[in-house]
């Protein structure tokens, strides 16, 4: 006998067993008895479209056993909103209570994306950002500073509540001070500074369609990025960030001399080279200036010495310049 089968509260519900393909299924999933029973009752209430307090309790039970069950999360959200209409309760308070419950599950299941979709659904029904939300995200990042699902949710949060000019940049600076190689933080920095004018449907911003570029902002960010590169020249993240900044102006060449600080002597096999990413950057600068010889030298060093595992790629880049491949 199970939890629901023995309960008077569920006596009116006829459970619906899972159909795995007959009495002798080829590859039946070995569910626990507890999970099997809970799902049988969930199928029944979903089939009758019941939205009640006991359904919320049932979904909580199923989620505790399988937090990746997307359908359960969706039905729970719909039940929560329907109950608010039925009871004429304060939706804001109901959602805050749900978020508090959700916090504990999120901290236990860091890589579960269904949790974050549910959280986003709840946020769309709030009048404003709860004061506990940003501190909670800080707790999540303290456990995993590069959690893709949390970063995706935070970007949505910034856009939804227009948080562009609030706490985002100081917080990103805290993360980059702790770990300058945090690519997620670099990506979020770019999003915060340049994402507000991007049309989510097309991915294009004002600078792409109207040549509107904040030169002072670009100058500030270029200098900031140079400082971070000098801390760890072989860190790819700020080099990519620098490229993104300079492409808004249409040219990488203004930072050519900066890249040369890290590539060593090209005539001496790159002796003293401190960054393969600087070589890559320099190759693009030289190609932009139509200096195929110097661009070819940088790509040659990458293919033969500093990034041999991607030799085929560097040879492809040489081919784009009309240069021959580097032999192994």
Q: Which residues are catalytic?
A: 111
- Cα 172 from Cα 157, distance rounded (Å): 15
The candidate with the shortest Cα–Cα distance to 266, out of 311, 299, 297, is 297
Contact indicator for 264, 271 with CB cutoff of 8 Å = yes
Q: Which of 70, 60, 19 is nearest to 38 (CA)?
A: 60
Cβ count near 158 (within 10 Å):
19
275 class by beta-carbon count within 10 Å (0-12 exposed, 13-18 middle, 19+ buried): buried
Tell me the two tokens of residue 54. Answer: 């006991």
DSSP string, 185-233: HHHHHHHHHHSTT--TTT---HHHHH----HHHHHHHHHHHHHHHHH-T
């Amino acid at each position: 006998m199970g939890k629901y089968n023995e309960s008077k509260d569920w006596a009116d519900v006829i459970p619906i067993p899972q159909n795995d393909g007959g009495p002798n299924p080829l590859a039946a999933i070995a569910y626990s008895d507890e999970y099997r029973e809970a799902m049988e009752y969930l199928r029944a209430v979903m089939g009758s479209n019941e939205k009640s307090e006991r359904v919320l309790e049932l979904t909580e039970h199923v989620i505790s056993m399988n937090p990746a069950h997307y359908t359960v999360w969706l039905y729970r959200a719909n039940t929560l909103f329907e109950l608010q209409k039925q009871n004429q309760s304060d939706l804001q308070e109901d959602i805050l209570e749900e978020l508090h419950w959700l916090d504990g599950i999120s901290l236990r299941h860091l890589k579960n994306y269904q949790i974050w979709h549910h959280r986003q659904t709840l946020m769309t029904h709030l009048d404003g950002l709860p004061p506990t939300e940003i501190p909670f995200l800080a707790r999540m990042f303290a456990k995993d500073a590069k959690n893709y699902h949390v970063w995706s949710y935070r970007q949505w949060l910034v856009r939804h509540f227009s948080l562009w000019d609030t706490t985002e940049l100081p917080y990103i600076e805290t993360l980059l001070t702790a770990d300058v190689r945090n690519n997620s933080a670099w990506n979020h920095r770019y999003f915060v500074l340049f994402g507000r004018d991007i049309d989510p449907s097309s991915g294009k911003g004002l600078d792409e369609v109207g040549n509107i570029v904040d030169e002072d902002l670009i100058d500030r960010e270029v200098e900031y990025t140079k400082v971070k590169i000098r801390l760890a020249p072989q860190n790819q993240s700020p080099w990519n960030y620098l490229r993104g900044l300079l492409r808004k102006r249409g040219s990488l060449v203004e930072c050519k001399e900066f890249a040369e600080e890290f590539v060593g002597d090209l005539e001496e096999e790159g002796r003293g080279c401190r960054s393969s990413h600087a070589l890559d950057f320099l190759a693009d600068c030289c190609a932009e200036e139509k200096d195929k010889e110097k661009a070819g030298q940088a790509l040659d060093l990458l293919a033969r010495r500093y990034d041999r595992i991607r030799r085929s790629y560097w040879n492809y880049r040489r081919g784009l310049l009309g240069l021959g491949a580097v032999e192994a």
